[in-house]
A and B are shown apart, each in its own frame.
Chain A
Amino acid sequence: MNNQYVTPAIYKKFSVGFMIAGLLTLILGVIFLNPGAGSNGDNLNSTRFWAVLLQNGLFWLFLVNTATFFMVICILAMSGWQVAFRRVTEAISSVVPLMSILTLLILFCIVFGHRGDIYPWVNKDLVSHDEVIKGKSGFLNPGFYSIASLLFIGIWSLISKKLRDFSKESDSIGTMDYEKGKKWVNRNFFWAAVYIVSFGLSVGSTLPWLWIMSIDAHWFSTMFSWYTFGSTFVSGMALITIFVIYFKNQGQLQFVTQEHLQDLGKYIFAFSILWTYLWFDQFMLIWYGNIPEETIYFKSRLQGTYEGLFYLNLVLNFLCPFLIFMKRAPKRNYTVVTFMCILIIFGHWIDFYLMIMPGTVKNNPHLSWFEFGIPLGFIGFIMWGVSRFASKMPMTPVNHPFLKESIVHHT
C-alpha cells in the first residue's frame, strides 16, 4: 500500500494564495464596485458585483456537487471501475457543505437585500403591476426560494456526508465477506437512491429555474434545468479527472491506469455531446418557433456584445471536446486530458457567464479583474477542501467490495 498523502507545501501555497487573491478581489470589489447601492439597476457596478458573485457561487457549487452525483450514480449502477479513484470523488464532495454556506450567503444577500436588478421578482412594486411575474409569484418568492435552497443544499450535504462516512467505516471493518459486503453495498444503495430523487427534484428541475432562470423572470424554458445539469455534469467530471491526474502524479492511486483515464475521457466526451444536444434543442426550438416572448432571451445573447462569447461557448464546449476526444489516443494521454479538462471547465464557466450576465448587467459586460479574481478564490477553496480530506484518509478504499473489478478494469 502507498503512503498516506501529505499535502505538498507548494500546493498549500497555491490554494491559500488563490483564496487570498479571491478575498482581495472581493474586498476591492466592496470598495470600488459599491455593492450596497442601486438595487433597481441604475448602478451598473453594483449589479456587476452581485452578478459575478452569483455566477461563481452557483457554478462552483454545482461543480463540487457533481462529484457526489457521480459517486451516487456509480453506487446505483453497481459500477466497479471507478472504485480505484473513488476517494477523489469523495474528497471533492466533502467541499459541498462548506461551499454551500458561501453560496447560500450570496443568494440570501441578493434576495433579502432586495436586489431587483438581479432577480426582478424580489422587487415588490414591480411584481404588483407586472401580470406575468405576478402569475409566477407562487413559485418566485423569497420564502419559497430560500426554503427550497436550504432544503436541497441540506440534503446534498447530509447524504454526501453519509456516503463518505460509509466509505470511512469500510476502512476499519476489514476485508468484507459476501454477507457483510452485501449489507454495506445495500446501505450505500439506499442513501444513493434518496439522493438521486432529491437531485432530480433540485438540479434536474427546480433549482436552476429558481437560481438562474428567474433572472429573466418573464422568460421560461422547460429544458433549462437539464441544460444546466449537462453543463455542470461535464465540467464536474473534468474537475474529478484533474484531481485524479493530480493524485496520480503525487504517487497515490496506484490502481488507476490509462484505462480509467480513458473512461473518464469518454464521460467528458459523451456529456459534452449531451450538453450540446440540450443547448441546441433549447436554441433551435425557440429559433424555429420565433415567438417574441421566447426569442427575447437569445436576442440579447446573439445580437450585440455577447455574440462573440456565444459562439466561443459552442466552440469550447462542443467542437473542442468532440474533435479532440474522438480518438482513443488523446483520451489516454495525461497531458491532453489535463489540458482539455481545464478548457472545459473554463468553457462552462463562460456558459454560466452567458446565462447570468445578459439578464443582469445587460449590454455592459465586463471580463476583467473582478470576473477573473473571484473564481480564483473558489478554485483555491476547492483545492484546500480536497487536500484537507485527502490528507486524512488513504486514497484507495482497500476494503471496497468492488475494488478488484476496478483493478482489472480494461476498456
Chain B
Amino acid sequence: MRKKFVVGCFDDEKVLFPAVKNVRRAGYKIHDVYTPFPVHGLDHAMGLRETSLHTVGFIFGLTGTSIAIGGMGWIFTTDWPLNIGGKPHFPLPAFIPITFELTVLLSAISMVYTFCWLCKMMPGVKKHHFHPRATDDLFVMVIECTAKTNETEVQSFLQNNGAIEINVQEAEDGWWFGRYDKEQKLYRTEEVGY
C-alpha cells in the first residue's frame, strides 16, 4: 500500500532522542527511525514492544529437542533395534549431544529466518529507501501520515526539534519482490548532491 511519509534527518543522537520523545508526545505516528548503527535505548524511546524473537527460538528449540529424542528413540527401540556395545536400546546419555546439536541448530536457523521476516527483509525483496545517508551518518526519522495529519505542521514541528533536512515522500509501505517501482522516484534523482 502506498502511503505518505514525512522524513526528518538528524545528525546528532542528543537531538534525536528528545525529538523522538516530542514527536510521540505530540501524537504523531513514527513509522521507523533508521540509524547507521544500533543506538542504545532508542527502542525504549520509540516505545517499541519487546521482540518475540526469543519465544520463537524457544519453541523451535523445543521442536529440535523432541525431533532428536523422538526420532532416535523411535529408530533404536521400534524401527531398527541394534545392540551397540551392550548399551540399552534407549541410551539417553548417548543421545544428549545430538539432541543438543539439533536444538541449537533448529533454534538458530529459525531465529535467523524469523528475524528476517520481522524486519521485512529476505533475499530478493525490495524495500523503499527513505534516505541514502541513513547507512552513513544521518539518523532518519520517518513519520507516517494518516488522513488527519497535516504535513506542513509536521514539517515545521520537525524543524523546531532540530531536524537538519525535511521532506515528504510517497512510498510503498511494506516489501515486495521484483524491481523498484517505476513510478516511484528514487531519492537520488530528486536531490542533487548525494
Contacts and interface: CB of A to CB of B under 8 A. Distances in A.
Nearest to B86: A290
Given A326-B58, A410-B40, A410-B41, A290 B94 contact: no
Contacts of A283: 93
Contacts of A339: none
A284 B93 contact: yes
B41 A280 contact: no
Interface string A271-311: 00000000010011001101000000000000000000000
A288 B41 contact: no
Nearest to A290: B85
Q: Give the contact-size bracket for chain A.
A: 10 to 19
Contacts of B58: 326
B95 to A, nearest CB: 10
A288 B40 contact: no
Contacts of A284: 93-94, 96-97
Nearest to A327: B54
A328 B50 CA distance: 10
Nearest to A280: B96
Contacts of A328: 50, 54
A290 B86 CA distance: 10
B85 A287 contact: no
B96 A288 contact: no
A162 B5 CA distance: 61
Contacts of A287: 93
Nearest to A277: B100
Contacts of B86: 290
A290 B54 CA distance: 39
Interface in A376-411: 410
Contacts of A290: 85-86
Contacts of B97: 284
Interface string B66-88: 00000000000000000001100
A410 B43 CA distance: 12
Interface in B31-86: 40-41, 50, 54, 58, 85-86
A328 B97 CA distance: 27
Interface string A319-335: 00000001110000000
Interface string A328-360: 100000000000000000000000000000000
Interface of B: 40-41, 50, 54, 58, 85-86, 93-94, 96-97
Given A326-B58, A328-B50, 10 more contacts: A284-B93, A284-B96, A284-B97, A287-B93, A288-B93, A288-B94, A290-B86, A327-B54, A410-B40, A410-B41
18 contacts: A280-B93, A280-B96, A283-B93, A284-B93, A284-B94, A284-B96, A284-B97, A287-B93, A288-B93, A288-B94, A290-B85, A290-B86, A326-B58, A327-B54, A328-B50, A328-B54, A410-B40, A410-B41
7 nearest A-B residue pairs (beta carbon):
A284-B93, A287-B93, A410-B40, A410-B41, A288-B94, A280-B96, A284-B96
